[in-house]
Amino acid sequence: MAGRRRASGSSVVVLCLLLVSLVACGGGPVTDSTRAEVQRVLDRRATAVLAHDEGAFRATGTATEYARLRAVPFADWSYRVTAVHADGGTATADAELRYRVRGYDTAPVTVGRALRLTRAGDGPWRVASDRPARKTGAQLWDQGTVAVVRGEHSIVMGVGQSTERLRSFADLADRAVPAVSQAWGTDWARHIVVLVPNSLDGMARLLGSPASSYRGIAAVTTGETGAPARAPADRVIVNPDAYSMLGPLGKQVVLTHEATHVATRARTNAATPLWLSEGYADWIGYLGSGRTPAQAAPELGRALAAGDPPTALPTDRDFGFSGDATRLAQAYEGGWMACRMIADHWGEVRLREFYLAVGTHKERTGAVEGALKDVLGTTLADFTARWRTYLKAQLG
């Protein structure tokens, strides 16, 4: 508080407490009643969303958001105001939005929102805009009107997409979920949420990252690794630009791969290397497809043909989206081939047991080595040597 005389002793404490109660982060003073009024407006807005009451929603301010999100089946929707800055007849508010999609989220999704409100004289506050907070990913309805298609094992929500195209994603997801359950087991939600924005840029905004990070990536699954049973459902976020370039088999492999991440998320943690989590997802994705190693691992095949085979299993850094595309492809192919080798030599049941054993560790150090010893009866050096030989046999 530059320019003000310093208080001493207990006065400092009193002054600080007073400022905490009156000042929002980086803003001017507001009264407790102003913050309470804003909270009540947002509470009425939330009630209108859940009651599908457009009139009540309009009474709280702009109705643009209502038109965009009314097709989404929300089980919960609420705001918690965390800061308010008022200046005459305008105010800005920071809030946490918590929502659940009915039948899919077992716990609320929590996101930061930045709202602008206005009032005329002593009239009620009204919401003028409701946007993502800084450094926070957008929600699908921030990009336009959301259309919803339900499948037997999925819900697909899209912006700027035809019903026919959204239905095609639901059909792919509905084939993917049983395939994952057959390989992994049924101890997971057995349904997925698919989000289809209208462009690569839309995908990037949902993820809160630059579009360049996902160019050429057909889909990404969000979710916290090692998430508890009561957690928001993972979202499979599609890059419609890259996805449209895939053939029928490629589209199915991608959705099955992403569904595998949803199924394995609770048993995946910091101990799980990406070569295993991504390789296992590809292994289930390709099951029954008829794709040979030469067809599914062309970049590794070219490396072997050029006399430049990999000497070690892919590192997590090799899977960076913004790096070398060839290096990224080889990382995915190498992880898939490692999991395929385990299934071929030790059996599919052991592959799953190996994945689970790695996930019982809390950190990376010793996790793979311990699981290799306990489940497969081998060492990392021996496993790597077997993998290199397997690559040559399958791709050479």
192-196: strand order across its sheet: 146-150, 154-159, 192-196, 235-238, 219-222
Same domain membership, residue 180 and residue 98: no
Same domain membership, residue 144 and residue 31: no
Tell the residue number behind the tokens 């895939």, with chain if given.
Answer: 246
Is residue 298, in this structure, part of any structural domain at all?
yes
Same domain membership, residue 58 and residue 105: yes
What distance in Å separates the CA atoms of residue 310 and residue 353, rounded to the nearest whole number?
26
- Among 231, 263, 295, the domain-final residue is 263
What distance in Å separates the CA atoms of residue 259 and residue 170, rounded to the nearest whole number?
12
**Is-contact 337 291, C-beta < 8 A?**
no
Tell me how far CA of residue 71 lies from CA of 79, 101, 156, 159, in angstroms.
20, 11, 11, 12
Is residue 19, in this structure, part of any structural domain at all?
no
Tell the residue number behind the tokens 């290096």, with chain if given.
Answer: 327
What distance in Å separates the CA atoms of residue 139 and residue 235, rounded to the nearest whole number?
11
Q: What is the pLDDT of residue 215?
A: 86
Task: Report residue 161 CA to chain centroid gap.
Answer: 20
Is residue 15, in this structure, part of any structural domain at all?
no
Same domain membership, residue 188 and residue 211: yes
Mean pLDDT per 10-residue section of the chain, whose length is 396 residues: 37 32 42 91 98 97 96 98 95 98 95 97 95 95 98 97 97 98 96 97 94 90 76 93 96 98 95 97 97 96 96 95 84 98 98 97 96 98 98 94
The CATH number that applies at residue 119 is 3.10.450.50
Q: ∠ CA(354), CA(359), CA(361), 5° rounding?
A: 115
Same domain membership, residue 155 and residue 121: no
Helix axes 274-286, 163-184, angle to 10 degrees: 110
- Among 263, 286, 318, the domain-final residue is 263
* Domain residue limits at 170: 140-263
Query: Of 245, 208, 78, 204, which is closest to residue 132 (Cα–Cα)?
Result: 208
What distance in Å separates the CA atoms of residue 305 and residue 69, rounded to the nearest whole number?
52
Same domain membership, residue 194 and residue 303: no
Same domain membership, residue 194 and residue 107: no
Same domain membership, residue 393 and residue 273: yes
What distance in Å separates the CA atoms of residue 343 and residue 376, rounded to the nearest whole number?
11
Evaluate the CA torsion angle 261, 265, 268, 269 in order and state its sign.
Answer: positive
Q: What is the pLDDT of residue 2?
A: 40
Is residue 396, in this structure, part of any structural domain at all?
yes
Beta strands at 192-196 and 109-118: parallel, antiparallel or unpaired: unpaired
Q: What is the pLDDT of residue 174?
A: 96
Same domain membership, residue 98 and residue 30: yes
Domain tally, the chain: 3
The token pair at 161 is 């997409």
Is residue 59, in this structure, part of any structural domain at all?
yes
What distance in Å separates the CA atoms of residue 205 and residue 214, rounded to the nearest whole number?
11
Same domain membership, residue 129 and residue 144: no
Is residue 16, in this structure, part of any structural domain at all?
no
Is residue 18, in this structure, part of any structural domain at all?
no
DSSP 63: -
Q: ∠ CA(396), CA(296), CA(281), 5° rounding?
A: 125
Same domain membership, residue 173 and residue 98: no
The CATH number that applies at residue 175 is 3.40.30.160
**Is-contact 179 284, C-beta < 8 A?**
yes
- Among 81, 107, 136, the domain-final residue is 136
**Is-contact 71 54, C-beta < 8 A?**
no
Q: What is the pLDDT of residue 30?
A: 58
**Is-contact 135 207, C-beta < 8 A?**
no
The token pair at 32 is 């407790």
Is residue 320, in this structure, part of any structural domain at all?
yes
Q: What is the pLDDT of residue 20?
A: 32
**Is-contact 99 89, C-beta < 8 A?**
no
Same domain membership, residue 117 and residue 193: no
pTM over 0.85: yes
**Is-contact 323 360, C-beta < 8 A?**
no
